[in-house]
Each structure stands twice: as structure tokens, then as C-alpha cells.
Amino acid sequence: MLSTWYYGNHAVRSEHWRYIRYRDGGEELYDHRNDPGEFTNLAQNPEYASIIAEHRKSLPQTEVLPAGTSEWKPDKLDKRVERWLANDSIPDWLK
């Protein structure tokens, strides 16, 4: 199952896993058998690279702009990320 939140943020849910990719390239992976509350992000662990690769196949090949728009205009999330980068205070979920 694929879910999209705003522009370019996608989550793929399979029987045991949830994989998330954000438009800034950040990724999350959760094992719902052992971590149903999604407390431990496994995306940076090389042990799970094949699971991530399999879930990436379900991501859209082309991004689609929100209805009624012809270009992407930065939203509040984009502006927060820009401030974090400018202040060198990147939150853990973006690293």
C-alpha cells in the first residue's frame, strides 16, 4: 500500500514493514512485527538494505504536483528545513 503526504513524501506499507521516503531524501524503515509503535528507525542499518530496495520499487516513478498547481512552491516543512540547515541544528530524523 502506498500513501503520499504533501508533495514528494511517500510511505510504503507491506505485511511486516513500513518504509518512508521524504522529498528531502530522508528515509525511515520500521519492522511492525517487533516495533509496532515505530520507535526504532532501521533505515541506516545496512542489514535492511534489501528490504528498503524492495519497498522503493513501489514508490512513484514521477512526482505529481498538487491539483491546480503548475510548480512546487516551498511549504512550511521546506522552510523549517531551510532554517535548520542555516542554523546547523538538523533534527535527527533528517540525518
Give the pLDDT score at 33. 97
Task: List, as one string, the DSSP characters of 20-59.
Answer: EE-TTS-EEEEETTT-TT-----TT-GGGHHHHHHHHTTS
For 2-40, how does the pLDDT look when each residue is reduced to its tens digit (9 = 90+)? Answer: 888 777 889 999 999 999 998 888 999 999 999 999 999
pTM for the complete prediction? 0.71
Residue pair 42/30 in contact (Cβ under 8 Å)? The answer is: yes
Structure confidence at residue 65 (pLDDT): 75
Q: In order of start, what are the domains of the chain with their CATH numbers?
A: 2-94 (3.30.1120)
Q: Are 12 and 19 in contact (CB under 8 A)?
A: yes
